[in-house]
């Protein structure tokens, strides 16, 4: 069994890895009037905040600099994207003594994640049908 320090190191190690891909649902992105980088950032925040091993469950604690490093966007772009996402009520931020915390809102979940989950079910069902015909 891992101790709390080891778990925190594991989470920080995962948070230090660069984002290698992102699935963009362009129809939803366009509906929300987001640029591709804004969509990618919001999606990344959603997934970081959803990590059950995070010391701040439900919140992304990555700094703007860390988000910039992980996504390949500049720190100034990250700040601009965060502001736009917050204005669109797709993320919320909690200012703390440290870097602050960020998470996707219920609106992001309703608009994006529910559709993604439905698409996953459809894909899995189609895959089962194709395998059963083989």
- Domain ranges, residue 111: 4-133
The string of pLDDT tens digits covering residues 47-67 is: 999 988 888 889 999 999 999
Asked whether residue 10 carries a pLDDT value surpassing 90, the answer given is no
The pTM score is: 0.77
Say which DSSP state 106 is in.
Answer: H
Count how many residues are written for the chain. 134
Is-contact 96 6, C-beta < 8 A? no
d(CA 34, CA 39): 6
Task: Say how many domains are in the chain.
Answer: 1
Residue 74 in tokens? 């500049």
> In CATH, what number is assigned to the domain containing residue 10?
1.10.10.10
Would the CA dihedral through 54, 60, 61, 62 be positive or negative? positive
């Amino acid at each position: 069994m891992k101790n709390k320090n080891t778990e925190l190191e594991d989470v920080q190690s995962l948070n230090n890895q660069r984002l290698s891909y992102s699935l963009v649902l362009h129809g939803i992105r366009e509906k929300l009037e987001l640029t591709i980088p804004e969509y990618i950032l919001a999606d990344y925040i959603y997934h970081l905040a959803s990590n059950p091993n995070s010391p701040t469950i439900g919140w992304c604690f990555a700094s703007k600099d860390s988000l910039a490093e992980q996504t390949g966007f500049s720190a100034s772009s990250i700040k601009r994207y965060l502001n736009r996402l917050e204005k669109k009520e797709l993320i919320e931020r909690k200012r703390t003594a440290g870097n602050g915390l960020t998470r996707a809102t219920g609106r992001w979940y309703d608009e994006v994640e529910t559709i993604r989950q439905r698409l996953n079910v459809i894909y899995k069902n189609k895959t089962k049908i194709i395998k059963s015909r083989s």
